[in-house]
Amino acid sequence: MLEGVKFALIRSLFVLAVALMLGLALAQTAPIGRPATITKLLTKQLVWPLDSTVGFLNGVRIQFQYPSRNIDGRSVLPLRELARALAIPLENISNSVDGLRFGKLELYPSLRLARLDGKQLALSDVATVLDGTTFVAARSLDVAINANLQFDGIQRLITLTVSRDSGNNAALPVARFATDKREYRLGEPVQIVEYSYDPSGVPITFERFTGREDAYFTPGVKTISLQVTNKNGAVSQTYTQTVRVGAEQLYSIKEYGLRFALLGRSFADRDVLTYPQAALNREDDPTPLLLSDSPEEPAQSGLLYEDTVSGPARLIAYHTNGMSTPGRVLIWAANLENTPVQVRVTKFGETSATSVVATLGRASLLDFMTSQGRESLNLDVGKAAPLYLSQPLDPGEGLNLMFDLETTGRVQLASYFIEDSLVQPVLNDLAGTIMVQTLQNLPTLERDSNHQRGTFSSAVRKIRIDLAQVAPGNATRLVIGDGAADPFVGGRDTLSGDAMFLKGNYGITYRITLENSKGTVGAIVPRGGPYAGAMKIGGAYVAVPDSGTLFRNDLPAVIYRAIDSSANRVELELIPASGSYLPINLLFYRVGTLPVTLKK
């Protein structure tokens, strides 16, 4: 049987079951004044399109006098008609001129007050009066009458489900699913249709499968179980089905991962290091990169790094507060020309006030890669001003900062770590004389033994690879950040005069062009230790991996799939993430010939 027919049949049976339970067999239209044919049902579901005077109560068409409305972005319903439709009493409150009680909601229009479950509110918080008609906010009905509210913004539908207590225990939700087949081959995709429901109409909010796999790679009988929980916390009984997996193989674990693993997800491949390194063309762009990463944990206020730039440049600062008091990172810009200059920030990324190292790297990369820059800084002759000041960092908290900027003349850029107590008195005049004198009196901090600072020759490395070199069923790899296959960019620490190499090439943008990419799959695998970063792939920005951290060097994560692509080129952009370990390998697989067509 075709999969589409199976799915349609399953849905039809499901809809019929729910229809019988909710009384959808009532075929004729019932006017609002005749709810008796519906009140026998313990659960009532009202579907009401916005701005319409027609609704559907348990599938029966209802004509209302007033429409539901959207007022100031809030959905409201006419109270009296709602009460009649749901057969819920609307009571007059004694000792009140116009007080009304609707479940746990009390309205006092003349006093412009309301109470919801005993809490006093302004009337406008839960209701509004239009032309003498009281409308109640749909969102208040959850508490007022224990209704489950759902809003479909595309179709502009309000759905209210109200369960009335019968004196017995409420019905439990029902777990249900079906597989597309009963027998599978090794590595064959297992498709599951999940159609759990709640007899009372309460939304299902959580499902827990056990034994479920996207595909199985060992033969035998496999048991799949499902348990669901509704919004009220009621848990279903466990529903179980079994499938049989034969000894015939359709896909290996690696073949399955290449074809079906979601982007950002990993698959097993123990052959990573056996793949040959890709033949490539490499070119470094002359844009300088200024790195302030040493001392990484300054224990006192002082100058971290400085150098002069003119034109395009990249600035990176990565520091953790090593003091016992709050501190800040300050980026200071000074005009060295005899004419005014402008500092234009074209990209900016920041992650601050966190002690989670992987978060510092990945979040700042995504912030930087997706940014649209910041306001320009104009500097008069002989003037200096802050380009950036971080929020206070508590002891042990860190910051990762990235700028791409352009200057119209020579500008000295300096990074400082400064205790917050020195900044607070001059927050309203950071470019004033007091701040300038404070900075002039700060010492130059020495590099630590484990980290780097300096001005490096290139912030952009361009790589071109022709994937025609990869035969079907084979792969090639591109090594990033090892210093051998991928040489480190050279530079100099201007404060000490020492020659430096940018170990790992952290902060360098790799722009990678893949020619003849049709029929290939790309993946990333860590080689030096845990890695969490970000990439731009074909114009889209993605976290790598999609969540958590890459750790195992035999579990590459898929970054693109061009098996059925009409294009024959893939553009990648990668910046090695601060706080992660290098090197990493990018893998490019050419998928082999597809196996025999799936048996039905």
In a domain, 170, yes or no: no
In a domain, 68, yes or no: yes
Q: What is the pLDDT of residue 45?
A: 87
Between the CA of residue 447 and those of 186, 290, 294, 381, 414, what are the distances in Å?
A: 56, 15, 5, 32, 15
Provide mean pLDDT across the span 216-245: 94
Q: Answer yes or no: do 317 and 445 share one domain.
A: yes
Q: Answer yes or no: do 303 and 446 share one domain.
A: yes
End position of a domain, from candidates 134, 163, 192: 163
Q: Answer yes or no: do 319 and 307 share one domain.
A: yes
End position of a domain, from candidates 163, 189, 205: 163
* 3-state per-residue secondary structure call for 515-543: ECCCCEEEEEEECCCCECEEEEECCEEEE
In a domain, 422, yes or no: yes
Confidence of residue 589 (pLDDT cuts 50, 70, 90): very high
Give percent above pLDDT 70 in the chain: 89
Is-contact 104 140, C-beta < 8 A?
A: no
Is-contact 43 161, C-beta < 8 A?
A: yes
In a domain, 352, yes or no: yes
Give percent above pLDDT 90 in the chain: 70
Q: What is the pLDDT of residue 169?
A: 45
* Strand partners for 209: 226
* Strand partners for 207: 228
Q: Answer yes or no: do 108 and 139 share one domain.
A: yes
Q: Answer yes or no: do 221 and 299 share one domain.
A: no
In a domain, 597, yes or no: no
Give the angle 455-382-343 at the CA atoms, nearest 5°. 50
Here the tokens at position 106 are 């009390």
pLDDT exceeds cutoff 90 at 65: yes
Q: What is the pLDDT of residue 374?
A: 80
Here the tokens at position 127 are 């209701």
Strands 312-320 and 289-292: parallel
In a domain, 218, yes or no: yes
Match 């004033």 to its residue by tokens.
Answer: 432
Tally of domains within the chain: 4
Note the helical H segments in 70-222.
79-86, 123-126, 141-144
Q: What is the CATH number of the domain that holds 208?
A: 2.60.40.10
Here the tokens at position 255 are 């073949």
What pTM value is reported for the model?
0.71
* CA dihedral sign of residues 525, 527, 533, 537: negative
E strand or H helix at 332, and its extent? strand 327-335
Q: Answer yes or no: do 408 and 555 share one domain.
A: no
* Nearest in space to 76 (alpha carbons), one of 148, 1, 137, 140: 137
Q: Answer yes or no: do 448 and 470 share one domain.
A: no
pLDDT digits 0-9 by tens, 457-495:
999 999 999 999 999 999 999 999 999 999 999 999 999
Provide mean pLDDT across the span 503-513: 95
Q: Answer yes or no: do 122 and 192 share one domain.
A: no
Q: Answer yes or no: do 398 and 478 share one domain.
A: no
Q: Answer yes or no: do 448 and 471 share one domain.
A: no
End position of a domain, from candidates 163, 196, 220: 163
Q: Answer yes or no: do 79 and 41 share one domain.
A: yes
Confidence of residue 8 (pLDDT cuts 50, 70, 90): very low
Q: What is the mean pLDDT of the chain?
A: 87
Note the helical H segments in 261-309.
none
pLDDT digits 0-9 by tens, 561-576:
998 888 899 999 999 9
pLDDT exceeds cutoff 80 at 514: yes
Q: What is the pLDDT of residue 161?
A: 87
Q: What is the CATH number of the domain that holds 483?
A: 2.60.120
Q: Answer yes or no: do 38 and 156 share one domain.
A: yes
pLDDT digits 0-9 by tens, 437-459:
999 999 999 999 999 999 999 99
The residue segments making up the domain with residue 152 are: 31-163
Is-contact 43 163, C-beta < 8 A?
A: yes
